[in-house]
Amino acid sequence: MALVGSYGPKRFVVSKKKIYTVSDVNISSSIEFEDKENGKGIPIKRKKKENGEEITVNIMLLSQCCNVMDEFYSWKSLKSKATPYYFLLGNRKLSTYKLVISNVSLSDIKMAARKEVISAATLALTFVESGSKGKPAASKTAKAENKKLAAKATRNCKTTKKKSGKFVGMKNSKIVDPKG
């Protein structure tokens, strides 16, 4: 029996008696942008948020190897638990972070002749990054950008001071006496 891959308690194997393996694997990653203007009125795109990786896997289920509906409900149960695991394929992690199942669907259902049993179906699974400690993953550059913005906001807040009952604001602003 050859181990093809795994996800938590699930194992993808190929042997003379059993074929339970992935048929298609798709990996995608995306970034969301927002339109802003620079100081001269020219529109530019700025990185808003980096989405984690999304992995889609198709598994051909055959009644000779497993009970199709039991397998479907087993994956649905794993989805409901939302426990993150590494997805391994050929003893390699497909993602830096652990993944959770976000979608489970059954399609191309084929019924056995003269029986109420499903003989074959395609199970589609979608996995998304859970990030570290269950939080979405953020890139190092996004974290550095957030620190710079927080420091700048702190510097801007320090320009307002209280002196002898009068509030002095930023440059070119009027001094307002609270007593009138």
> What domain range includes position 77?
2-33+45-138
How far is Cα 151 from Cα 158, in angstroms, rounded to an integer? 11
CATH number at residue 13: 2.40.30
Task: Give the CA count within 13 Å in the CB-facing half-sphere of 86.
Answer: 11
Residue 3 to residues 65, 84, 87, 109, 154: CA-CA distances in angstroms?
A: 15, 21, 13, 26, 55
Q: Is residue 57 part of a domain?
A: yes
* Pairwise CA distance, residues 100 & 134, whole Å: 9
Whether this model's pTM surpasses 0.75: no
pLDDT digits (tens, 9 = 90+) for 137-172: 455 565 666 566 556 555 554 444 444 455 444 445
